[in-house]
Amino acid sequence: GGRQWCKVGRRWSDVKSTVFQAATLCLRSMLP
């Protein structure tokens, strides 16, 4: 789910811009 992507985003925040995709999915999952 979205929470899992949030964790992945934090984990890869120092790896690459891939965190941007994770964050985007995370935010989208929070939308109604």
What confidence score (pLDDT) does residue 31 get? Answer: 85
pLDDT band, residue 23 (cuts 50/70/90) = confident
pLDDT of residue 27 exceeding 80: yes
pLDDT of residue 1 exceeding 70: no
Q: Which of 1-5, 12-16, 25-29 has the highest mean pLDDT?
A: 25-29
State the Cα–Cα distance between residues 17 and 31, nearest whole angstrom.
22
pLDDT of residue 26 exceeding 70: yes
Give the list of residues 6+ apart from residue 22 with CB closer than 8 angstroms, or none: 5, 6, 8, 9, 12
